[in-house]
Amino acid sequence: MADAVIPVSLALKGEQYANELWRYKNAAGPQQQYFRTGLAAVLWRFLDRHERCIADHCSVPALRVVTTVPSTSGRVDHPLRTMVSVMVGATRDRYRDMLIAAPNASELGRTASSLRYTSEALRDESVLLVDDTWTTGNHAQSAASALKAAGAGRVAVVVLGRHLNTDFGDTATHVERARLRQFSWESCVLCNPHSG
């Protein structure tokens, strides 16, 4: 499993940020590029401010390799890969295609599985693993497991949006508490323990 999971922001079902995280993959034409550029800017700014927090939390001098969680839906060229490997200056020079989804990855259900992905070999390198949306976490945790099985040292997951549905369980109560703390570029869940 990952040594750290850091969401950039909440992505509440039916609200703007969750919509943008859907549209950057599914919109067509100029709209698609608009949403991709916006999310790339969010990731870049967040990492510029907080990647040091993440590396410190993982007890490493730096996260040497950057990769993304691949699609299990058959999407060949996932836009997250393009954002991280081309658009985001904070990650592009360290990006490596490390992970491949197993042929039966989408059939593995809603739990983390070490069988969902395979990874290229690593030699104790620390990895920054980027995902767009965290709902159950099974894809990101499966990817982290595959990276560690391939020899990664520390693996930190940065996720653009922590997807929440306020109709589920006591989520609405947690969201109302979170709304009392305004989003700030100056804090993350690691450098501000009250933000998580």
Residue 125: count of CB within 10 angstroms of its CB: 19
Q: Is the pLDDT of residue 113 over 70?
A: yes
- CA–CA gap between residue 139 and residue 117 (Å, rounded): 9
167 — pLDDT class (breaks 50, 70, 90): confident
Q: Is the pLDDT of residue 144 over 60?
A: yes
Nearest C-alpha neighbor of 139 from the set 161, 126, 157: 157
| Residue 193: per-residue pLDDT | 53
Q: Is the pLDDT of residue 22 over 70?
A: yes
| Residue 131: per-residue pLDDT | 97
Nearest C-alpha neighbor of 136 from the set 168, 172, 179, 178: 168
- CA–CA gap between residue 74 and residue 99 (Å, rounded): 14
- CA–CA gap between residue 142 and residue 136 (Å, rounded): 11
| Residue 92: per-residue pLDDT | 97
Cα atoms found within 13 Å of the Cα of residue 77, Cβ hemisphere only: 4
Which helix (DSSP H) or strand (DSSP E) does residue 122 occupy?
A: none
